Amino acid sequence: MDIELQRHYEDKFEMMSTRGWLDFIEEMTAILETTNQLNTVKNEQELYLAKGEMNILSLIINWKAASEATWRDLNENTN
């Protein structure tokens, strides 16, 4: 694996192991749970806005797992 790519993932995992990151993910999860309530949606525009917010929040919340999966794939392909 390229040294620069390896450093990129090591830095990312170091950041994701901090208390600040864990707090951030906890807050994003709470926002997602709040956004995921259709009874507050009044019209089609709000529905699409909520859907977009939920997609972005899910992407953030699952970023660590996706990065770990990519890291495993990269390492398996290197060996």
pTM: 0.81
Higher per-residue confidence, 1 vs 55: 55
3-class secondary structure for 48-69?
HHHHHHHHHHHHHHCHHHHHHH
What the block records as the tokens of 56 is 């972005």
Contact 32, 56 (CB under 8 A): no
Residues 75 and 71: their CA atoms lie apart, in Å, by: 6
Q: What is the pLDDT of residues 52-77, one digit of tens each?
A: 999 999 999 999 999 999 999 999 98
